[in-house]
Structure 1
Amino acid sequence: MQAFAALLDALVYTRSRHAKLRLIGDYLRTTPDPDRGWALAALTGGLDLKMVQPRLLRDLMTARVDPVLFALSYDFVGDMAETVSLLWPDPPVAAPPPSLADVVDTLASVSRAAAPGVVAGLLDRLDAPGRYALIKLATGSMRVGASARLAKTAFAESFGVDVGEVEEIWHGLVPPYDRLFAWATGAGARPDSGGAPVFRPFMLAQPLEGETIDLADFVAEWKWDGIRVQVVHVPVAAGGDGRTRLYSRTGDDITGSFPDVAGAFAAHAALDGELLVRGEAQGRDQHGGAAASFNALQQRLGRKAPPAKLMTEAPAFVRLYDALVIGDEDLRALPWHARRVRLDDLVATLDPSRFDLSAIVEARDFAALSAVRDAARDDAIEGLMLKRRDSAYVAGRRAGLWYKWKRDPLTADCVLMYAQRGHGKRSSLYSDFTFGCWGAPGELLPVGKAYFGFTDAELAMLDKWVRSHTIGRFGPVIEVEKSLVVEIAFDSIHVSKRHKSGLAMRFPRIARIRTDKPAAEADTVAALARLV
């Protein structure tokens, strides 16, 4: 457990991607089974313990530490795991620390009634870094600056295997990944997917920054504002398990959240597209049909078993971009135009209420295409995708093949209203900000939240300003004087019944701090509504 704790501690304080890869790789090479398998599961989201809730930790702490001291410490630190790990009193007699496998086995089998005693016993056997790692494991909050993709890449690089192969066999494996490590170390054969529809790494696009594209070589499609998915089905007759899977861009299986889409797909294929929902925009979308805003899709994300009413009100569908596999044929080496013909033929056989084809955007030249992009302010469109007509489907982001050309952001001048501390390296700084615009005379209404877009120097300035202009507290949330104006950039804005202002921004970020502008001159909710 100490080695895993040291790894998490190092990841939290390491910014360099290459350094993170090296840290994870070194751990996986030098740690014995099954600890390294459980660690890989934890880093990739494959470990679902979540036996410990914040309430349990608070109860354990207030029985051992002065409640006022604990409350003040948590308020200052801003992270429950860090606060508990540092304040937890050392036991009179130190017991040997458990291994990571011991911790996983214990937490996986403990009952809810026995959890307080078991968790306290484990915390007593660990030092501060070990307690921090234990709490992160037990609460399912592994935000340590390492994504699942990064962990898989580190595994592949450290054992000299292809990360694409790791991705393709991943969903046929179970923690602690004995077969995966046996294959990587040469002690076993490459694991078989066992008939499961496998995930294949996505081809990604580079931002278009100042280049001019020749439309003789490139084709344009709309960049839809949903979530990128891969739809995969292998019928039993072809050696599969007969089930359809939906995978997100990071390789997560999201089938359970969208059974209406999975249940409508039975073609022997692996297809790439954008998951969208039909809703308020149905029947009025002039760019390809019936796609509602991301705000409508967001109501369905993360629901493992969406209710029937929600699936009826916001039916999901996939706007297809590309074909990776059709039947037994892997199409990824073919040029885009050949794959497009095959995809076009297949789409004609699919349920049109659940699957359609992303339209080609026609323009006589690049200047005309730029004008088309600038004019597109549809709820579900972020901009354009530009794809080389002769490009193979290559995993990852390759220069010169695919570009994403997002439309210019919208901006609004808003007033800072509330602030909250961040997480990880930002846990001692106010870095999460709520801002608003004027509704009725003298009334500020929240219109969004932002936690990025500023430099380190600007963050330090904002943190200092919040501390010196605090007028109220609501738990971890600080209310500030309504006097600082910030310019907010956002991709789009939508009607929302969940917000008091009636509006919700898409991807808001702080573009600049307007110390030169009085709060009374900030934008109004009515002005924002005109941008919907």
Structure 2
Amino acid sequence: MSSSPNGPRDDAMEEDAKSQDGQAALNSEEDLDEQYPDRPHNHSQTLFFHDLLLSLFNPLDGLKKRPTGPVTARAKLGPGSSNPSPHEARRIIIGRFISRWRSDVGDDFYPALRLILPEKDRDRAMYGLKEKAIGKLLVKLLKISPDSEDGYNLLNWKLPGQSTATRMAGDFAGRCYEVMSKREMRTEVGDMRISEVNELLDKLSAASKEENQLPIFEQFYNRMNADELMWLIRIILRQMKVGASEKTILSIWHPDAEALFNVSSSLRRVCWELTDPTKLLEGEETGVALMQCFQPQLAQFQLHSFQKMIDKLGVTPDDPEFWIEEKLDGERMQLHMVEDDNIPGGRRLAFWSRKAKDYTYLYGNGFDDDNAALTRHIRDAFDPRVRNIILDGEMITWDPDTDKMVAFGTLKTAALSEQKNPFQKSGIRPLYRVFDCLYLNDQNVTRFMLKDRRKALEGGVKNVHRRLEIHGYEVADSVEAIDPALRKIVAEASEGLVLKNPRSMYRLNSRNDDWMKVKPEYMLDFGESLDSVVIGGYYGSGHRGGGIGSFLCGLRVDDNHVAAGANPMKCFSFFKVGGGFRVEDFAAIKHMTEGKWHDWDRHHPPTEFIELAGGDRQFERPDVWIKPSDSVVVEVKAASVGASDSFRTNYTLRFPRFKKLRTDKNWESALSLSGFAALKAKIEQESSVQRAFEVDRRRAPTKRVKKEVVIAGTDKRVETPYAGPQTAVFEGLNFCVMTEMLHPQKKRKAEIEQIIKANGGSIFQSPTVKGDMICLGEKRLVPVASLIRKGDTNVVKPAWVLDALKQTEIDGPERKKFLLPFEPNHMFHMADDARQDITSHVDEYGDSYARDVTPDELKQICDNMILPKNSQFSATTFLAELEEHGHGLGEMPGSMFARCVARFFPSDPPQEDIDSQMAKTHFLFGGGVVAESNTDKHITQYVALSEDQEVLKSLREVLASRVGRVPRIVGLKWLQDSWSESTLLDEDRYSINPKAAAKH
């Protein structure tokens, strides 16, 4: 079971209340026509399900396995291109499938899209089926014994196969394919159409018992081959991973598809309202609407100092105000309220989570809802003048006995308890904290500034004590206000802060700098390491499939905690660790524990040896366990320690990483509960006196400033005649050059005019001549500002002139009259009626369809492909959030060095060898940050590029001048071995002692 950082999610969350999530899985055609009178109807039957695989899933999946070469600047590939870039190849595959659907089926793409993006389909209820349950169904369907080789492999899909079937260990759908391909009913492709698959999946989502689910699986089995069944299982599990995001797929269907999905969270609406790609939505149609779940704005992680946060927020000396809010540890929730005479009380309410899950069934649909956990208590929360409203906030758990917020993992339990006992005075309960108002009395207010939305919120909503409350904030105007606010919330055991720009609009489905999280690194640092005993193991997936990929470690229960008559050989679960192991480390542990592991039996857990959190729910239950006396002790280091209900110690380590195997210790000398408590108390005391807060540091792209070459000895300007190309490319065109050129090089107005005239263009000194005229400018001088105010004229940067000439030279004599079209990068100002045409000349990353880009532009394009400027996705943010909530992605090369700041020494060697260059490249690719100076306080490692004694002596002198904790000094082999092993290895194994240099 997954867990939050502060505690496990309730088991009730696993059930997911399928009857409430989908609501109407089996709508009749008549009902749909009545609800959506203008919905499109296909002129032909839907495609076969195997068409979806052969034309879309398999080709996209194949691209993930294809070796990728360098992306060329002119990879503008048509259908006949022999070497498309991976991104363009994906778009071609998806575009062809959509075109085929439109021509062969019709305009209703919804039947296919809900299978392509099953995780985004909110109209179908959850199936309530996970790998184990599907495995049991397949065992019965195939009439094989659970104890047979194939039965065992299905039910224990993370384990290596009983014989040689280990290739698919850790991949459940792949393991199903292995088993079903031996006994498939069809060897050729199946005959089920997409519409039939959807009908059966609707029935499966409504079936809650095995006897109802099994006949549905039997129909699939009889009419599909093994490959189709494998993809069907991925659809049911909502684990497609085809290598194309929903953003890409939606954008190819319609330019406004993503915008409509952001405000509705409905694939059905996207498909039924956007059938013609040439017809765009009006402004109001892309705004939030009542009773339609939208994708909320999110807070950005800040990667630098408090001051840089303030700068990013847009604070200026003239308007320095920003807001500080407490970051709440709950579930993001939006509340919609409308007038409805059919609901008792005259108001209908609806609740949706950030993931668009409908929680109305839990919190209530009206003030008189007798089954409501919340709404029956908030009748007085709304001003009588409020007819309708949309609120954004956080649903948290509150304990009236202590009058404090409780960890998020208890929220579902609190809501269910409140449903059964609505007027209990004690016991935890849900509390809705509101921090934004997005819609009020028929008006969308997302385009208003935050401070104005706040006024609307305070005017329309009143606090209902510990049921619905407006979330408070502190007004600040200097960076000095952040630190005391952070210390205050830490003292109250809260999660962090959110800084907000009160002048900002609300941006749907966006993580931007208007809101910023502040999470302090205030937790306990245990110096070098902790020695803990291994008590359990978890089978891995991916490259660790087929063996134990991570371990559960515990603290020894010592004399102070052993009850009378209890087994003294007992450990409490403390943390899980899977990072930092080399192949030989796994091999060593396997050798030392061979034959001593036992399968975990949840019905008869080994409580005499191991105690987990959660009682009968057995949080963080391992796949296998081992007696402490038979086990090994591992030395582990971590970033910090924090409270957690997921582990029996009530604490766990944050970012634990294996350091080394302690062969010199046994379980009796490992860290005990009392030892941990003493160490914790000691460091807390030191921390309160010595340690200051630091903002979370994560990698951010650095901006490189190109320096101009300055030649000393003269400041005179030399006038030279134009000596460049002379073509007819500008023949018949009129130009008005209004300012000098600033980028990519500086040229005076007269120089630009000279270039234009030499290539056939005519020059005018004002933009008043009749007919088409190209106005060039790159400064907001009075003439340029005047044109912009009029709004109907483009202002083009002078750099376009140089690009047009350069492309003419490249294209050869036969293209001398080719005129380069305008691109967004060429424009200082775009007229509204020209914007769509101009943006169509580049792809979504800014790569030109008509010209060769420069090396600098290519670098920027490649950067955009990794992190587009307008993307809401941040790889470092995503990985950090996964780590925070206990869902790591394992040891991935792109995040291996994410928490490392290295200083390469010497910093400017005369000539780096190829090994040094490659190691640096791997370090940066793995998310590491290269420190710019020896004084950077964040440095975690010095990497010695040479082990020459003079170099080490110089490095020792650098370290001697540092204040505080001294970073490790390692050689290049640390980077090389970490990259080779695909995990961050402990530095101590590669440590270079600089003091040794002093002896020589």
1:447-466: per-residue Cα shift (whole Å, max 9, x none)? 34467xx4xx7486775566
TM-aligned CA distance change 1:151 to 1:490, over 3 Å? farther
The 1:63–1:125 alpha-carbon spacing in structure 2 relative to 1, beyond 3 Å, is same
Asked if residue 142 in structure 1 is aligned to residue 260 in structure 2, the reply is no
d(CA) in 1 for partners of 2:407 and 2:336? Answer: 25
The residue type equivalent to 2:118 in the other structure is: A
Higher alpha-carbon deviation: 485-494 or 182-191: 182-191
Deviation per CA, 1:147-187: give whole Å up to 9, x if none: 9x95366314542115232232345x759x75245366859
Point out the more displaced range, 338-347 or 412-421.
Answer: 412-421
Q: Is the 2:295–2:356 Cα contact (8 Å) retained in structure 1?
A: yes
**Which gives a bigger RCO, structure 1 or 2 (Cα 8 Å, sep 6+)?**
1
Deviation at 1:378, TM superposition (A): 5.5
Corresponding residue SS for 2:391? strand
Report what 1:400 is aligned to.
513
Tell me if 1:512 matches 2:657: yes
| Structure 1 residue 62, shift from structure 2 partner | 5.0
Cα distance in 2 for partners of 1:235, 1:306 equals: 25
Displacement, 1:269? 1.4
Alignment of 1:150-299 (within 5 A): 150-151=245-246, 154-156=249-251, 158-171=253-266, 179-180=272-273, 182=275, 197-211=291-305, 212=307, 213-214=309-310, 216-236=320-340, 242-259=347-364, 260-263=373-376, 264=378, 268-279=388-399, 282-283=402-403, 290-297=404-411, 299=413
**Residue matched to 1:419:** 537
Distance 1:297 1:19, change over 3 A: farther
Q: Give 1:435's aligned residue.
A: 553
C-alpha distance in 2, partners of 1:366/1:143?
A: 44
Shift in Å, 1:35: 3.8
The aligned runs of 1:333-372 (5 Å cut-off) are: 333-348=447-462, 350-361=463-474, 365-372=478-485
Matched, 1:50 2:50: no
What CA distance in whole angstroms lies between the structure 2 residues aligned with 1:398 and 1:119?
Answer: 41
Is the 1:257–1:306 contact (alpha carbons within 8 Å) kept by the matching residues of 2? no
TM-superposed deviation, 1:79: 4.3
Show the counterpart of 2:853: none
**How far apart, CA to CA, are the structure 2 residues paired with 1:64 and 1:244?**
50
Q: Please give the alpha-carbon distance, in whole angstroms, between the structure 1 residues aligned to 2:487 and 2:576.
A: 26
Separation of aligned partners in 1, 2:273 and 2:533: 52
**What residue number does 1:493 align with?**
643
Query: How far apart are residue 91 of structure 1 and its match?
Result: 4.3
- Higher strand content, 1 or 2: 1
Structure-2 separation of matches of 1:428 and 1:81 = 15
Structure 1 position 524 matched with structure 2 position 600: no
Matched, 1:36 2:133: no
Equivalent pair of 2:298/2:512 in contact (CA under 8 Å) = no
Contact 1:325 1:332 in 2 (8 A): yes
Partner of 1:484: 634
Distance 2:544 2:63 in 1: 11
The alpha-carbon deviation at position 296 of structure 1 amounts to: 2.8
Q: Relative to structure 1, is the Cα distance of residues 132 and 165 closer, same or farther in structure 2, using a 3 angstrom cutoff?
A: same
Task: Give the distance between the partners of 1:435 and 1:275, measured in 2 at CA.
Answer: 33
Q: Is the 8 A contact 2:185 2:221 kept in 1?
A: no
Equivalent of residue 432 in structure 2, options 318, 330, 333:
318
1:104 corresponds to 2:198: yes
The SS at the match of 1:129 is helix
Total equivalences in the alignment: 506
Q: Partners of 1:409 and 1:28 in 2: how far apart?
A: 51
CA contact (8 A) 2:414 2:429 kept: no
Name the CA distance, whole Å, in 2 between partners of 1:434 and 1:202.
36
Shift of 1:320: 1.5
Question: What does residue 494 of structure 2 align with?
Answer: 381
Q: Which residue of 1 aligns with 2:574?
A: 447
**How far 1:428 moved relative to its partner?**
4.4
Structure 2 distance, partners of 1:311, 1:427, is 50
Sort the Cα spacing of 1:194 and 1:444 in 2 relative to 1 into closer, same or farther, 3 A: closer
> Matched residues in 2 for 1:385 and 1:524: separation?
35
- Work out the CA distance in 2 between the residues paired with 1:13 and 1:308: 52
Deviations 1:344-391 (A, max 9, x none): 23332x533321122224668424522431453367621111111211
Equivalent residue, structure 2, for 1:308: 420
Determine the C-alpha separation between the residues in 1 that align with 2:412 and 2:582: 29
Name the CA distance, whole Å, in 2 between partners of 1:20 and 1:504. Answer: 48
Root-mean-square deviation (Å): 4.5
**Residues 351 and 359 in structure 2, CA contact (< 8 A), matched pair in contact too:** yes
Match of 1:445, as an amino acid?
F
1:310-348 Cα offsets, whole Å, 9 max, x none, are 995331111121111222222222222222222223332
Secondary structure (helix, strand or coil) at the match of 1:515 reads strand
On the 8 A contact 1:281/1:291 being kept in 2, the answer is no
Q: Report the secondary structure of 1:210's partner residue.
A: coil
- In 1, the alpha carbon distance for the partners of 2:577 and 2:437 equals 36
Q: 2:504 aligns with which of 381, 391, 408?
A: 391
The structure whose Rg is larger is 2
Native 8 Å contact 1:488 1:512 kept in 2: yes
Q: 1:127 to 1:310 in 2, by over 3 A?
A: farther
Cα deviation for residue 276 of structure 1 reads 0.4
Instruction: Write the distance in 2 (CA, Å) between the matches of 1:344 and 1:403.
Output: 23
Distance 1:18 1:243 in 2: 45
Task: Return the offset for 1:28.
Answer: 5.2
Query: Displacement of 1:144 after TM fit?
Result: 3.4
Consecutive unaligned residues in structure 1, runs of 5 or more:
284-289
C-alpha change, 1:198 and 1:374, in structure 2 (3 Å) is: same
Q: 1:400 to 1:310 in 2, by over 3 A?
A: same
Matched, 1:126 2:251: no
Q: Secondary structure at the match of 1:133?
A: helix
Aligned residue in 2 for 1:286:
none
